[in-house]
Structure 1
Amino acid sequence: MFDFQNLTYKIGPKTLLQQVSGRARPGELVAVVGANGAGKSTLLRLLSGDLRPSAGTLTFAGRPLGDWIPGRLARRRAVLTQQHTLALAFQVQELVLLGRYPHFGGQPTAHDHAVVAAALAAVGLSHLAGRSYPTLSGGEQQRAQLARVLAQVWEAEGGFLLLDEPLTGLDLRHQHHTLDVARRLTRERGFGVVAVLHDLNLTAQYADQVLLMRQGRAIACGLPAEVLTSENILEGFDIEVELLEHPRLNCPLIVPLGNNEVIGKE
């Protein structure tokens, strides 16, 4: 479990994150939402250990994150960042095999290759295993990167995935497929997932917990129905919405009303 209390992060005089608290538990998908510049990616970089907090506490599995040996941490949690720089033209299966590096010494084993095949199957890319990564579409590249982080923590008990905008470049079908993969990992294998998302309807449909942020602060944290209210969304995004009952799913349908409604009431 990730437990963070009063996390603050500053660069010089500028505060990017201020006293944000929350928990991410195994078996749950936590969505972090908010407008551009809300501090979502900064929070994820703190959880990944890429940044160190200026103040506050951050623990993973009951230990301060900074006390973890990097190799052991890499076998328990994996991070999907927004930007993916790849200098060499790896095959897709070779890229995914990079996620297995924390698990073997000199050479990958048959088990490592089997995990790569399973991770590619999970994201629907088995048929592209031998393709050169740069020849893939943006959405296919994003799914290949997801397979890489899946392979990294594939057999971990209480493994965690930190996903920064994992739906970027994906079409509608694969947006749902990616979140369905994440949710099945939480349900069937006890994984914890923290994902930065932009689509509030997808958040309402798939998330177990939601952290809504604005300008480096947490506005609300809890169940989707508690957090994704019209009042909270207005505070977080400066736009009015109407919440309708979804005709088929047990979650709200969020309909933006546009900026004119907000401007007209000022």
Structure 2
Amino acid sequence: MFDVQNLSYLAGRRPLLRDVSLQARPGELLAVVGANGAGKSTLLRLLSGDLAPSAGSVRFEGRELRAIPGPALARRRAVLTQQHSLTLAFSVQELVLMGRYPYFRGQPSAHDHRVVAQALQLVGLTPLAGRSYPTLSGGEQQRAQLARVLAQVWEAEAGFLLLDEPLTGLDLNHQHHTLDVARALVQHGFGVVAVLHDLNLAAQYADQLVLLRQGQVVAAGAPAAVLTPAHIRHAFAIEVELLPHPTLGSPLIVPVPRPAVAPGLWPTSNP
């Protein structure tokens, strides 16, 4: 379990997170939502250990995160970041095998290769296993990276995945497939923390939500309690209506159309 208490982070003198507290548990999908610049990715980087808190604490399985040795932590939690800068011509299979690095020295075992094959099958990339990673589309690269982090924690008991905007570049089918994979992991005892932009997908798939605005928690809890018109107005500066989903029972969020931009605001050419 991740236990976050009174967490703050400063970039220079600018506060990016202020006094954030939350818990992320095995067997739950926790979605972090909010407008651009709300602090979502900063929070995930603090959970991953990539950043050190300016104040407050992050504990994982009862221990201060910074006190856990890197190799031990790598076997318990994996991180999918927003940016993937890999440009070398590794094959997809070789990329996913990187997720097994915490488990072997020198040469991977037959078991490592089996895990890679299973992870590729789970994300639907088995036919592309031999392709050069840089030649993939953006969505295919994102799915390959997901397979890599899955391979990293494949055997972990109550392991964790930290996913920063995992749906970037994915079409509608693969957005839902990725979240279906996350739900399947949750049902097997994993914990998942995912930064999501689509509030309707968050409402459908998440067990718990944390809604951020300007680095602070607006609301936290079950999706129906967090995704209210008042909370969304406060966090996103937009009016919405909530409808019951016709089959899932989750709230369906419909933005209220805004007035058209006044013609006088458009730039005009000189006569």
Q: Do the structures match in fold with TM over 0.5?
A: yes
Alignment partner, residue 256 of structure 1: 255
1:264: which partner in 2? none
Give the Cα separation in 2 of the matches to 1:184 and 1:217: 30
Q: Is the 8 A contact 1:239 1:258 kept in 2?
A: no
Identity of aligned residues (%): 73
Instruction: Deviation per CA, 1:139-190: give whole Å up to 9, x if none.
Output: 0000000000000000001110000000000000000000000001000x21
Moved more, 11-20 or 40-49: 11-20
Corresponding residue pairs, total: 260
Q: Deviation at 1:259? A: 4.1
2:269 alignment partner in structure 1: none
Partners of 2:31 and 2:39 in 1: CA distance = 13
Measure the CA separation in 1 of the matches of 2:99 and 2:181: 18
SS where residue 258 of structure 1 aligns? coil
Q: How many Å separate the matches in 1 of 2:257 and 2:212?
A: 20
Give the drift of 1:87. 3.2
Q: TM-score, normalised by structure 2?
A: 0.95
1:42 aligns with 2:42: yes
Matched, 1:90 2:93: no
C-alpha separation in 1, matches of 2:259 and 2:28: 37
Structure 1 gap segments, 5+ residues each: 262-266
Q: Does 1:236 align with 2:250?
A: no
CA gap 1:259/1:59 in 2 versus in 1, 3 angstroms: farther
Q: Which contiguous aligned blocks of 4+ residues in structure 1 show a shift greater than 2 angstroms?
A: 258-261
TM-score between both structures, scaled by the size of structure 1: 0.96
1:252 Cα deviation from its structure 2 partner: 1.0
TM superposition shift of 1:103: 0.7
- Other-structure match for 1:53: 53
Partner of 2:265: none
Query: Does the 8 Å contact 1:244/1:253 carry over to 2?
Result: yes
Q: Hey, what does 2:205 align to over in structure 1?
A: 206
- Between structure 1 and structure 2, the one with the greater Rg is 2
1:174 maps to 174
Residues 102-121 of structure 1 aligned to structure 2 (within 5 Å): 102-121=102-121
- Structure 2 residue identity aligned to 1:121: Q
1:88 Cα offset (Å): 1.2
The match for 2:12 is 12
**TM-superposition CA deviations, 1:176-205 (whole Å, max 9, x none):** 000000001000x21100000000000000
How many Å separate the matches in 1 of 2:169 and 2:56?
34
Correspondences of 1:144-159 after superposition (within 5 Å): 144-159=144-159
Task: Out of 168-177 and 11-20, give the one that drifted further.
Answer: 11-20
Deviation at 1:37?
0.3
One-letter code aligned to 2:226:
V
